Amino acid sequence: MTVKYLNSYKISSIRHQKEITDLSDHLPIYQITKYSDIDRRTINNDNLIKKRIVTPHTLGLFNDKLKNCNWDDSVYANNNDVNVCYNEFVNKFTTLFNETCPIKKCHVKKTSGSKPWMSSTLINCCKKKNLLYKQFINNNCTATEKRYKNYKNKLTALLRSCEKTYYSNLLDINKHDIKKTWMIINGLMNKNKNSSRLPSEFVNNNLIVTGDSNIANSFNDFFVNVGPNLAKKVNKPKSNIKFTDYMKTTINESIFLGPVTEEEILETVNRCKNKLSNDYIDVNMCLVKNVIRHIAQPLMHIFNVSFNTGNFPDCMKVAKVIPLYKAGDKQCFSNYRPVSLLPQFFKIHE
């Protein structure tokens, strides 16, 4: 049974409408139910997600605020402590970012379900097939049935041929990109759908772990301790040989680091790939490329202070860790591997 929730003013018109479709061997059965405003709000809230509003307009406002931002009292005021410089920079950057590109609740748009190989001609053919089916239902005779079935069989063969041609061309275009090739194959096998969605509960030492915060902490404990736990199982060598015994004499004057320039930062950022993966402050490389001309100077000062003092900013060591499912039971922490998304400004510094 298919249940449809409809507004009350539509009920009277739909009751007298005859629904005809060839999706199954029998006509669909409908149940029309009235629901209150509270139920309507509940249904609508299920499609709400939190999304950062990043549009050409908001990016333009963000660029204007960064262009007019004064870094003298915060970033440039300190030449000895790189942590103070970088923390002041990140605080100002994220504050302006949240003001101009805020996070809001948005409705998830329902996809139409159309296939990429469906052209306007094929869509019209499907409409004609449905028209022939209605004629067959209304005039139940051998002639209309034969006309409908012949057209349906030819259309089915045509749809399969178009689908095969579409994916053959798509695989041929991406034959040198193994990542995109596997994405296409997994899409055909329906492995991409909900693959990244984590279960609502996990099992750890025969205890059920629920709640986003508890699951995140349990993942963190597992990933932090998995290395030391494996190291304990490795037998230590009996000899007293140290790793320094294999190292040659160090050369103190083997490298020279010159001061970082603004042009060097712009060139480095332009060479980075256009990735949309966000770090822990919700910034990706595409965003950095869009605003780099207004933040190159404060970054240049931070990098030079880092090189001059020999210290690396602590906040650049913070990574956003995402658990990716490997295989086996989805409720077991050991069946996930961690992927660390490093800060975008760390990549530039590196």
Q: Are 278 and 284 in contact (CB under 8 A)?
A: yes
Q: For residue range 72-102, list pLDDT tens digits in order.
A: 988 998 888 999 999 999 999 999 999 999 9
pTM: 0.66
Q: Are 85 and 315 in contact (CB under 8 A)?
A: no
How far apart are the two ends of the chain, measured CA to CA in Å? 59
Residue 293's pLDDT is what? 95
Mean pLDDT of 6-14: 38
Residue 291's pLDDT is what? 94
Rg (CA), the chain: 30
pLDDT at residue 16 above 60? no
Q: Are 28 and 21 in contact (CB under 8 A)?
A: yes
Q: For residue range 145-197, list pLDDT tens digits in order.
A: 899 999 999 999 999 999 999 999 999 999 898 988 998 888 888 765 555 67
CA–CA separation, 132 vs 151, rounded Å? 8
Residue 38's pLDDT is what? 55
Mean pLDDT of 46-58: 83
Mean pLDDT of 231-248: 78
Element (H, E) at 336: strand 336-341
Count of other CB atoms within 10 angstroms of residue 133: 19
3-state secondary structure of 2: strand
Q: With cut-offs at 50, 70 and 90, classify the pLDDT of residue 227.
A: confident
Closest among 101, 91, 96, 37 to 67, alpha carbons compared: 96
